[in-house]
Structure 1
Amino acid sequence: MKMQNFKLKESGLNRFFGPLESKIMEILWTSPSEMTIKDVQLKLDEDKAINFNTVMTVMNRLVDKKILQKRSVARSFHYKPVITIEEFMDTQSKELTYDLIEQFGSLAVTHMVDALDKVDPELLDQLEQHILLLKRDR
């Protein structure tokens, strides 16, 4: 699932979602079970009053985007994320990396390597091992 809009100047989930979408996804990703629109609205209400219809519209748009799935239970709908936040972030970072390399080629790779001086040395060691494995498998 590739998100269509990436906001460079935002951070976290706001890079992929609007502000309310981000809050809703955070609530659903931290919930141990499915939630109704009312459940989500009550969690959002801890910050400020948000209209039920607004929450319903945003959650149904997230269903249309295939981020959430909903199912009918009695007289209400229950929502849950299609994938975990870890799977979502993994997929998005992979898609962004492939897009950067496709668009900018060696420039993107050069800038990624330049950015490595700011990462944890343990991460650098993991990257080195991964590169060695890729070279060996070729």
Structure 2
Amino acid sequence: MKLNNFKYQGSGLNRFFGPLEAKIMEILWDDSEEMSIKEVHGKLEGEKSLSFNTVMTVMNRLVEKGVLQKQARARSFAYSPVVSRGVFMEEQSKELTHDLIEEFGSLAVTHMMDALDKVDPKLLDQLEQHIHDLKKER
């Protein structure tokens, strides 16, 4: 699943979603059960001015984007994330990295390498091993 609106200024989920979308996704990822719109609306603390219809509209847009799935219940619908938060972040970072390399080529790789001086040495060891494995495969 590729989301098309990456925001450089944001952080965390706000890079991929609008503020309310991000809050709804956090609620659904934190609560491992599927939830109705009413249940999500009730968990949006501090957002008392939000109407039920606003929450319903945003949740249905998340279904259209392919991030949430919707299943019929007795008198309502149950919503749940299509993938876990970890899988979502993995997929999005992979898509973003591929897009950067496709558009900027060696410049993107050079800047990624420059940023490595700020990462945990264990990550550098993992990267070194991964590069070694890729070279062996070729």
TM-score in same-fold range (> 0.5): yes
Q: Which amino acid aligns with 2:135?
A: K
Following the alignment from structure 1 to structure 2, what is the Cα–Cα distance between the partners of residues 60 and 48?
19
Q: Which residue of 1 aligns with 2:89?
A: 89
Following the alignment from structure 2 to structure 1, what is the Cα–Cα distance between the partners of residues 46 and 112?
38
Following the alignment from structure 1 to structure 2, what is the Cα–Cα distance between the partners of residues 123 and 47?
39
Following the alignment from structure 1 to structure 2, what is the Cα–Cα distance between the partners of residues 47 and 3?
28
TM-score by length of 1: 0.98
Following the alignment from structure 1 to structure 2, what is the Cα–Cα distance between the partners of residues 99 and 90?
14
TM-score by length of 2: 0.98
* RMSD (Å) for aligned C-alpha atoms: 0.5
Unaligned stretches of 5+ in structure 1? none
**Misfit runs of 4+, over 2 Å:** none
Following the alignment from structure 1 to structure 2, what is the Cα–Cα distance between the partners of residues 64 and 95?
19
Q: Which residue of 2 aligns with 1:127?
A: 127
Q: Which amino acid aligns with 1:24?
A: I
Q: Which amino acid aligns with 1:47?
A: G
Following the alignment from structure 2 to structure 1, what is the Cα–Cα distance between the partners of residues 8 and 43?
28
Following the alignment from structure 1 to structure 2, what is the Cα–Cα distance between the partners of residues 105 and 5?
21
- Which secondary structure does the structure 2 equivalent of 1:24 belong to? helix
- The structural deviation recorded for 1:48 is 2.3
Q: Which residue of 1 aligns with 2:46?
A: 47
Residues 55-113 of structure 1, C-alpha deviations (whole Å, 9 max, x = no match): 00000000011100011111100000000010000000000000000000000000000
Following the alignment from structure 1 to structure 2, what is the Cα–Cα distance between the partners of residues 48 and 86?
26
Q: Which residue of 1 aligns with 2:25?
A: 25
- Which secondary structure does the structure 2 equivalent of 1:99 belong to? helix
Question: Taking every aligned residue pair, what percent have the same amino acid on both sides?
Answer: 69
- The structural deviation recorded for 1:42 is 0.5
Q: Which residue of 2 aligns with 1:73?
A: 73
- Which secondary structure does the structure 1 equivalent of 2:57 belong to? helix
Following the alignment from structure 1 to structure 2, what is the Cα–Cα distance between the partners of residues 83 and 16?
15
How many correspondences in the alignment? Answer: 137
